[in-house]
Amino acid sequence: MADRNSRLKWPQIDGIISDLDGVLYRGNASIPDAIRAFGEWKAGGLPFCFVTNNSTHTPDDVVRKLDAFGLAIAPKDVVTSAITAAEFIRAKHPDASRVYVIGAPSLVKAIAEVGLETTDQKPEVVVMGLDRQISHDKMRIAVEAISHGAAFVGTNPDLLLPTAGGFEPGAGASIAAVAAATKVEPLIIGKPEPHMIETALSRLGTARSATLMIGDQVPTDIQAGKRAGLLTVLVTTGVPLREDPSLAPPDFIVSSLCEIEVAPAQAGCARQRRA
């Protein structure tokens, strides 16, 4: 793992792929340094793309949220686990037509937009994302469907999500419960799998060797970046760092995105580094 900030040697950076929750905001509260850094990178012409495991977001939702924080982006700058999961199910199960969805309206919408019916009647696929109205009955339906042979897909394995006041259970908590009940491991679409990273890379058109992956979680963000062949940056503004020797460590650790040196140096972040 790299030494801390004053001794870090940053590579050439031509593009950035970044997580959202815990990096640019916590719940509905922005992380000012991160908003400033991305604003200055945008002004300097550095391309970036956001990849979010949180299946409750649509790209338009993210655009509106970041705009309220003062960062203007376009829907094409966002890759979500909900959209990626729907596209994966359509491609991986071309003969399937019925999907049982546990998740937010954004996940239901993504499934419908690829031509699949959302139903609890004999589904061929069960897909689970973050559902803040999760219930025993929803989990019962999922367990029964999977036990009868339905494919099991999870948007992401995050156990915790950062909020303005602390943390809340993530999609991974309920996915783990269904996996334990059925003894069937889900196929995970989001990070740490590299599916969304590959989509983001294709949109950026940058070389892997000159693209950074930024995230706040080693088990998901950092592992996804590593699996995609990117240099990785852990920012300590989100989920607390827990050492796990079985996981590949980040290449860099920062407490603020303003510590990342992009040439030419961006004025606001440069001032903070000198302060």
Active site residues: 19, 21
CA distance 93 to 97: 9
Helical axes 32-43 vs 267-274, angle rounded to 10°: 130
Assess contact for 50 and 78: CB atoms under 8 A: yes
**Rg of the chain over CA atoms, in angstroms?**
19
Determine the Cα–Cα distance for residues 8 and 231; give it in Å rounded to an integer.
13
Residue whose structure tokens are 């006041």 = 165
Strands 167-169 and 160-162: what pairing?
A: antiparallel
